[in-house]
C-alpha cells in the first residue's frame, strides 16, 4: 500500500465519521472532503467540478429553486388552504382533488418537479 492510498483511505474514514456523527450538515461535509482532495492534489480542479456539470444535478438544483419560488409566491399556500377546506368536508374528495391536481400538473411539468412542488403541500 502506497502513501497515497493511505491518505485517501484516511480522508474517506474521516468523511465517514463526519457523516455518521453529523458534526456538520451532510452537504458541508461533502464539500469539505472535496476541498481536502483538491488541496492534497488527489483531484484536479476540472475533475472536482465535473460532477456539478451533470444535467441531473443542475435539474435538481433548479427544481429546488422552482419549489421555493412557488412557496414564496403564495401559490402553494393557496393550494394547501383549498385542499384543507375540501378535506374538512370529505377526506375522499380532498384526496381526489389532490391526485387530480398532481396528474394535471404532471402532464405539463417534469415528474421530479411535481414531487418537489407537492411535498410541502402533502406535509401541511
pLDDT in tens, 90-120: 778 878 888 888 888 888 877 777 787 777 7
CA distance 67 to 71: 6
- 84 lies in the same domain as 36: no
pLDDT digits (tens, 9 = 90+) for 39-98: 998 888 888 888 777 787 787 788 778 778 877 888 777 877 877 777 787 778 878 888
Global pTM value: 0.51
Domains: count for the chain: 2
- 115 lies in the same domain as 61: yes
- 46 lies in the same domain as 68: no
Measured CA to CA in angstroms, residue 11 lies from 17, 21, 55 at distances of: 10, 15, 28
Counting other chains too, the contacts that 52-61 makes at CB distance below 8 Å and 24 or more residues apart are: 59/110, 59/112, 60/112
- 60 lies in the same domain as 47: no
Q: How many CB atoms neighbour CB 48 within 10 A?
A: 14
Q: Which domain holds residue 110?
A: 56-123
- Enter the C-alpha cell of residue 19: 457523516
- 69 lies in the same domain as 21: no
- 46 lies in the same domain as 64: no
Mean pLDDT of all residues in 17-22: 91
Amino acid at each position: 500500500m502506497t502513501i497515497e492510498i493511505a491518505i485517501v483511505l484516511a480522508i474517506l474514514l474521516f468523511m465517514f465519521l463526519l457523516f455518521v456523527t453529523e458534526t456538520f450538515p451532510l452537504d458541508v461535509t461533502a464539500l469539505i472532503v472535496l476541498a481536502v482532495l483538491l488541496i492534497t492534489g488527489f483531484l484536479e480542479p476540472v475533475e472536482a467540478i465535473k460532477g456539478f456539470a451533470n444535467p441531473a444535478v443542475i435539474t435538481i438544483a433548479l427544481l429546488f429553486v422552482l419549489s421555493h419560488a412557488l412557496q414564496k409566491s403564495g401559490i402553494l399556500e393557496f393550494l394547501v388552504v383549498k385542499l384543507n377546506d375540501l378535506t374538512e368536508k370529505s377526506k375522499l374528495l380532498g384526496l381526489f382533488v389532490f391526485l387530480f391536481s398532481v396528474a394535471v400538473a404532471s402532464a405539463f411539468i417534469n415528474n421530479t418537479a411535481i414531487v418537489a412542488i407537492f411535498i410541502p403541500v402533502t406535509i401541511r
